[in-house]
Structure 1
Amino acid sequence: MPDHEGLYILMLSIHGRICGTPELGVDADTGGQVGYVLDEMRALARDPRVARIDLLTRRFSDPATHPIYGEARESLGSGARIIRLSAGPSQKYLQKERLWDYLDTFVDGALQFIRSENRIPDIIHSHYADAGYVGVRLSRLLGIPLIHTGHSLGRDKRERLIAAGRKAESIDRQFRFSRRIAAEEAVLSEASAILTSTRQEVDKQYALYENAAQAHFVVLPPGVDLRRFSRPGRQRSSPLLPSLRRFLEAPRKPAILAIARPDERKNFQRLVEAYATAPDLREQANLILVMGQRDRFEQIPHGARGVIESVLRTVDDYDLYGQVALPKHHEPEEIPEYYRYAAIYKGVFVNPALTEPFGLTLLEAAASGLPVVATRHGGPQDIIRYCRNGILVDPLNIGEMQDALRQMLFDRRRWQRASRAGLMGVRRVYSWEAHARRYLAEVERILRRQRKQLRRESAARQGVRRALPTADHLLISDIDNTLIGDPAGLAALIEWLGEHPRVAFGVATGRNLKQTMEVLAAHQVPRPDICITDVGTRIVYGNTLHEDQDWAAHLHYRWWREGVLQTLAEIPGLRLQEKPAQSTFKVSYYVDPKRPPTAKDLQQRLHQQRIAAHVVLSHTRYLDVLPIRASKGHAIRFLAFRWGLPLHAVLTAGDSGNDADMMGGEICGVVVGNHSPELHGLRDRHHIYFASACHAWGILEGIQHYHFSGDLHV
């Protein structure tokens, strides 16, 4: 394990209403995943190897929801907490499909939270595609391994909805499948482990993804809380009978029980049709549908309202009154009673979903001694294989569903065998304690592999200090003629950095990444926490050199590289530099000192062609054309915002023209003594210090001037 303090696990589950006592079923986004995550957290927190586990989710103060969701923190006991971060409208609860535009804000909030806690997590665990999007970015920024649980998958769900008769264009608009699937592909390519509940999830559902071949899958089924879900024992009656008499003429008949949120993917409509069109089932059994919580109809989300309306119409069309129960409310402690009620009267539990990633309700039924009929698409295959307590069916085939219900309800010997087998199987295979043990074994494997990788790094890489997430200051230096040029000064600066671990260190250079790594290694400079290369057009992080894709996306704005090449092709005094000097967001030229074009003239030519770019001249010999949003200074400010650092906690150092925009404003700028004439115009600028000493000695002089890393006297 990482150290004597124990593991720190950071979980991400963003959508839905998450609290210590969850309102499961209150809406389409507060279902099985929420219960799964909370149970998993509590099981892990009970293990002595885990020191701390935090769950990051969204914070909102919607008047229509419980006030707890506006609380920033909620303790679950045993070192487990729910941390709520603002992302999107704070006064409004949003469905998960509407959260995609706010996930980058959630990333920034997560970084701020990690910084404030002063400890870096050992592992990040994301749940569902939206959290996977956030988890990938946090993993890239922090260099922390990511594990992921999908819960349900976009490609598989899309195919099932189309098979059920939905139009592709309609469901793509409603469920944002393009963004969801892209996030899932990214997780597959970058996560250290993908946790699945079943082998079928790997072989059938993830097989639809291009990046599945390179992913590492771990089949790790969830558990069931055997303290809540248990067989009826010697009970001959149920406390639910009085409330069910409001719906049922004969409430002691065997019950066909279904429990799920009112989502069209749960396929309630076909279950009701299967019951309604089978006279023998209607005569000998009741149908009980527990479909979340609801008060007034107009307050129900549109999708859920459509499901409930469809069920009510079918009840009315087939005159099922007195045979179907549709309770509007239930308390959390009543859910186990529904399973026990159905078991007392020799009923059956049904999960008719179009696809079910796992099927936790099937385990709850098994632990209650209740046989099941379940969809054959997804996790129920594994559950039935281990527990042998039911029948799998095609959820789109009403006749097949009816036959399975008849077998379980009308064959008492089969019912007894399935009931006993389910009780034995769930205790043998499915428990949260066993889940936690296997989970932590996988985490230990990932962390061991990470440590081995770090040990294989070169001497330069071994000097890496993972200071960035907990840093409160940031030092960014140009390389050529600033950081390097005086070996003794460089050694003194490296020693200073070692003595100040809360100062993150970065370089900003016109070189490309390969050249940057080579020159740093040649001068025995430890790998920086941040590298801003290619004149500010590229940001990479730390040991693993993960590129900041958000910065790259930011630079695409109105950038037309081919247009730059065409516009400047015939300008006298310009010659394209070699291919290694070029990049996606940088066009580099040599300047003829005998007939140099002015930067102003070149900028004007580009502007006339409606090309949003700016021109940087360095050492009177080199010229770079960059996207309008790109520069070392913009990159540094982007980083300061992302990492929550005030600009006066950033110190930059340089010697030439392409370093100018790193300085000024609230940033503490240092111009080293060996600077080029291009920087003379900065002498009277606010927060720019001209050092007398050269190279790294000049940086140290600037550090002393600003009292950097202590109280900043600025």
Structure 2
Amino acid sequence: MSYSSKYILLISVHGLIRGENLELGRDADTGGQTKYVLELARALVKNPQVARVDLLTRLIKDPKVDADYAQPRELIGDRAQIVRIECGPEEYIAKEMLWDYLDNFADHALDYLKEQPELPDVIHSHYADAGYVGTRLSHQLGIPLVHTGHSLGRSKRTRLLLSGIKADEIESRYNMARRINAEEETLGSAARVITSTHQEIAEQYAQYDYYQPDQMLVIPPGTDLEKFYPPKGNEWETPIVQELQRFLRHPRKPIILALSRPDPRKNIHKLIAAYGQSPQLQAQANLVIVAGNRDDITDLDQGPREVLTDLLLTIDRYDLYGKVAYPKQNQAEDVYALFRLTALSQGVFINPALTEPFGLTLIEAAACGVPIVATEDGGPVDIIKNCQNGYLINPLDEVDIADKLLKVLNDKQQWQFLSESGLEGVKRHYSWPSHVESYLEAINALTQQTSVLKRSDLKRRRTLYYNGALVTSLDQNLLGALQGGLPGDRQTLDELLEVLYQHRKNVGFCIATGRRLDSVLKILREYRIPQPDMLITSMGTEIYSSPDLIPDQSWRNHIDYLWNRNAIVRILGELPGLALQPKEELSAYKISYFYDAAIAPNLEEIRQLLHKGEQTVNTIISFGQFLDILPIRASKGYAVRWLSQQWNIPLEHVFTAGGSGADEDMMRGNTLSVVVANRHHEELSNLGEIEPIYFSEKRYAAGILDGLAHYRFFELLDPV
């Protein structure tokens, strides 16, 4: 074929795909991917370089679904069609059940392609199942393969473990090992892998053995500019305005708009606190928060319920009535109108999430002419770099949040510049025409062989998942090296981090600390410590997975056993020498006191008092001055053992490093443990009498490296 007439084969095996009336959200298999491949097919044939697009998917004959999915061919535009291929049973089944039939799909697809007057120039597979098929067609026909993962099995497995599903059940229900092996094989075969963001490459694809940086290409998906566009001037007449007027004393002020799910990671409470602490911001603008739909907060699941309850309490704490709107219901049309209304009011859109993999709402805001302020973690970095339409913030710093919002609102000339830059940037980088231009540039380079991937010498690891873990405390082991440490301590910490990076595919890295999540993230950012694979925070009462900071809800459910926070606070409220720590140090399952040993009862007396009050809890004194009360099932040690079970790693392959009494229980038992030298390590001296624990004479990170060498940890995990 000539340079200007490409035949592109798209493969998306699972889900319900048709040209009109997509059943988005019908089930887990009918979501964004089906919409993406359909819009990509239509956008491709609008470009004169493309002669033909076939979208191969599964043929389904099932009375439970529409007859449309049983049609072998469906035209979806000029020179584009959906081609449905037989794949195992005729009925509609979940994608996890398709693995046994994918070779069947590949054989039928091969027959179809051999019947065509000419073969495709490129095969583009979507998701792991299509990658499996595309790999086979690519090798048999000698056609270059391009792949888009949409989601990856290793990340999905972590999310499922955090939801409470056991590892063996994940394997049987989701065929996870087959999926991950298919993804590895696809990465080993694809000439290019298309992703949405650089973060997706660094934090998801880099987990794979056959990951190659030169293979990856960032091309963000297109935005529907027919739905997201600048205001026409009549937006004050839209129905959503009447809803806002129920909340706002001066509804025509500039709008600070936040739009997200009611999820703790979206960090809504920090945005409200930033607004509440800034009289200037309150004078300048209203705050509008759209956090999903609800009838009654008490009917929601625990996570959303806690987020929305905290939202209301924070508004009340800062007395923001008449200045903040938080509508209960919104439809898609309301969202479009809110973006345009924000632009019309010369307001700003903010995404204060702790981490944001992509940031589609930021692009939608920009398409409506709204300047943006967004978290400095993840996709927003790319968006603001491309569009030059706003500012990045530290999502844990209320002052920074308020300052950047005011920077947009206070300078009308700058506001106009940011608005126009966003409109232009979206057209150039985030519209379907721009997506197709970048896409075809890459395809042409492949088909003309002007861009040939030089594959590295890669090999698969011995095990499919982690076979070891390193768990360390934060303050005395990592942070101590940076706060008043010797000049060489930073260098030693970097050496430790490099060792962990080299073994990242076999050894999970975990930080266990008494600090809350927001405090930990702030420190990691400040001292340039990479986010670990897992975070155990609030003295073992919370577990989070990186990079998306997904909370382990099953752990939370587990430790809730016999926990009565109010009763504990009441029992200890009158004791001398105990003072509750600030709210920032407390959490749902951790009650923390300042402890004055000179006048307070000793730990055994406190335990007896709580037991007498029928409270079965865990009590921990650390650094000689802090008392933490936790659920009986919660501690750093319990959390480490929970992770050992979740990751299916024997405790003999778990290396723990501690430096104070707060670390004691995670160092007992069958773990390989080192006590590093610091000013609090004497609190662990009694462990040497009862446990085979290594006491390093080296400080901080050097002590951890010393302990790893002492146990020959990495040789133990991967013997030659």
TM-score (normalised: structure 1): 0.50
Structure 2 Cα separation of the partners of residues 258 and 24 of structure 1: 24
1:325 is aligned to 327
Deviations 1:451-488 (A, max 9, x none): 999xxxxxxxxxxxxxxxxxxxxxxxxxxxxxxxxxxx
Sort the Cα spacing of 1:227 and 1:323 in 2 relative to 1 into closer, same or farther, 3 A.
Answer: closer
Structure 2 Cα separation of the partners of residues 373 and 139 of structure 1: 43
The reply to whether residue 103 of structure 1 matches residue 102 of structure 2 is no
Sort the Cα spacing of 1:87 and 1:112 in 2 relative to 1 into closer, same or farther, 3 A.
Answer: closer
1:325 partner SS:
coil
2:692 is aligned to none
Counterparts of 1:291-690 in structure 2, within 5 Å, are 291=292, 308-314=304-310, 323-327=325-329, 329-330=331-332, 335-351=335-351, 355-393=355-393, 397=396, 399=398, 402-403=401-402, 406-407=405-406, 410-413=409-412, 415-449=415-449
Structure 2 Cα separation of the partners of residues 6 and 246 of structure 1: 53
Sort the Cα spacing of 1:75 and 1:142 in 2 relative to 1 into closer, same or farther, 3 A.
Answer: same
Deviations 1:609-663 (A, max 9, x none): xxxxxxxxxxxxxxxxxxxxxxxxxxxxxxxxxxxxxxxxxxxxxxxxxxxxxxx
Report the Cα offset of residue 205 of structure 1. Answer: 4.2
Structure 1 Cα separation of the partners of residues 160 and 291 of structure 2: 22
Sort the Cα spacing of 1:38 and 1:357 in 2 relative to 1 into closer, same or farther, 3 A.
Answer: farther
RMSD: 4.8
Structure 2 Cα separation of the partners of residues 366 and 342 of structure 1: 11
2:187 is aligned to 188
Counterparts of 1:244-255 in structure 2, within 5 Å, are 244-245=243-244, 248-249=247-248, 252=252, 254-255=254-255
Structure 2 Cα separation of the partners of residues 312 and 65 of structure 1: 37
Structure 1 Cα separation of the partners of residues 360 and 138 of structure 2: 29
Which one of the candidate residues 268, 271, 287 is aligned to 1:271?
Answer: 268
2:444 partner SS:
helix
Sort the Cα spacing of 1:437 and 1:409 in 2 relative to 1 into closer, same or farther, 3 A.
Answer: closer
The answer to whether the 8 A contact 1:247-1:326 is kept is: no
The answer to whether the 8 A contact 2:228-2:368 is kept is: yes
1:46 partner SS:
coil
1:194 corresponds to which letter in structure 2? V
Structure 2 Cα separation of the partners of residues 153 and 76 of structure 1: 28
Report the Cα offset of residue 385 of structure 1. Answer: 0.8
Sort the Cα spacing of 1:93 and 1:256 in 2 relative to 1 into closer, same or farther, 3 A.
Answer: farther
Report the Cα offset of residue 384 of structure 1. Answer: 0.7
Structure 2 Cα separation of the partners of residues 419 and 230 of structure 1: 12
1:212 partner SS:
coil
The answer to whether the 8 A contact 1:25-1:31 is kept is: yes
2:349 partner SS:
strand
Report the Cα offset of residue 179 of structure 1. Answer: 4.8
1:364 partner SS:
helix
1:289 is aligned to 290
Structure 1 Cα separation of the partners of residues 151 and 31 of structure 2: 12
Report the Cα offset of residue 340 of structure 1. Answer: 1.2
Structure 1 Cα separation of the partners of residues 8 and 69 of structure 2: 24
1:123 is aligned to 122
The answer to whether the 8 A contact 2:9-2:124 is kept is: yes
1:135 is aligned to 134
Sort the Cα spacing of 1:186 and 1:359 in 2 relative to 1 into closer, same or farther, 3 A.
Answer: farther
2:290 corresponds to which letter in structure 1? L
1:348 corresponds to which letter in structure 2? V
2:376 corresponds to which letter in structure 1? R
Identical-residue share of aligned pairs (%): 38
The answer to whether the 8 A contact 1:107-1:138 is kept is: no
1:206 is aligned to 205
Structure 2 Cα separation of the partners of residues 29 and 271 of structure 1: 29
Aligned residues: 436
Sort the Cα spacing of 1:211 and 1:109 in 2 relative to 1 into closer, same or farther, 3 A.
Answer: closer
Structure 1 Cα separation of the partners of residues 64 and 403 of structure 2: 41
Sort the Cα spacing of 1:28 and 1:285 in 2 relative to 1 into closer, same or farther, 3 A.
Answer: farther
2:196 is aligned to 197
2:104 corresponds to which letter in structure 1? D
1:39 is aligned to 39
Counterparts of 1:5-44 in structure 2, within 5 Å, are 6-12=6-12, 14-15=14-15, 19-22=19-22, 32-44=32-44
1:145 is aligned to 144
2:82 partner SS:
strand
1:222 is aligned to 221
Report the Cα offset of residue 175 of structure 1. Answer: 7.7
Unmatched runs of 5 consecutive residues or more in structure 1: 454-714
The answer to whether the 8 A contact 1:45-1:80 is kept is: yes
2:212 partner SS:
helix
1:418 corresponds to which letter in structure 2? L
The answer to whether the 8 A contact 2:389-2:421 is kept is: yes
1:207 corresponds to which letter in structure 2? A
Unmatched runs of 5 consecutive residues or more in structure 2: 454-720
Structure 2 Cα separation of the partners of residues 88 and 400 of structure 1: 58
Structure 2 Cα separation of the partners of residues 77 and 236 of structure 1: 33
Report the Cα offset of residue 44 of structure 1. Answer: 0.8
TM-score (normalised: structure 2): 0.50
Structure 1 Cα separation of the partners of residues 221 and 288 of structure 2: 28
1:188 corresponds to which letter in structure 2? L
The answer to whether the 8 A contact 2:102-2:129 is kept is: no
1:342 corresponds to which letter in structure 2? T
Report the Cα offset of residue 135 of structure 1. Answer: 2.5
Deviations 1:287-322 (A, max 9, x none): 34364x89999xx9xxx9666555554456567898
Report the Cα offset of residue 178 of structure 1. Answer: 4.9
The answer to whether the 8 A contact 1:160-1:354 is kept is: no
Larger radius of gyration: 1
The answer to whether the 8 A contact 1:222-1:431 is kept is: yes
Report the Cα offset of residue 102 of structure 1. Answer: 1.0
Sort the Cα spacing of 1:232 and 1:242 in 2 relative to 1 into closer, same or farther, 3 A.
Answer: closer
1:239 is aligned to 238
Report the Cα offset of residue 368 of structure 1. Answer: 1.0
Structure 1 Cα separation of the partners of residues 360 and 149 of structure 2: 15
Counterparts of 1:33-112 in structure 2, within 5 Å, are 33-58=33-58, 73-84=73-84, 94=94, 99-109=95-105, 111-112=107-108
The answer to whether the 8 A contact 1:152-1:357 is kept is: no
The answer to whether the 8 A contact 2:73-2:84 is kept is: yes
Report the Cα offset of residue 192 of structure 1. Answer: 1.3
Sort the Cα spacing of 1:60 and 1:421 in 2 relative to 1 into closer, same or farther, 3 A.
Answer: same
Sort the Cα spacing of 1:240 and 1:28 in 2 relative to 1 into closer, same or farther, 3 A.
Answer: farther
2:346 corresponds to which letter in structure 1? K
Deviations 1:580-626 (A, max 9, x none): xxxxxxxxxxxxxxxxxxxxxxxxxxxxxxxxxxxxxxxxxxxxxxx
Report the Cα offset of residue 171 of structure 1. Answer: 12
2:228 partner SS:
coil
Structure 2 Cα separation of the partners of residues 131 and 145 of structure 1: 14
2:81 corresponds to which letter in structure 1? R
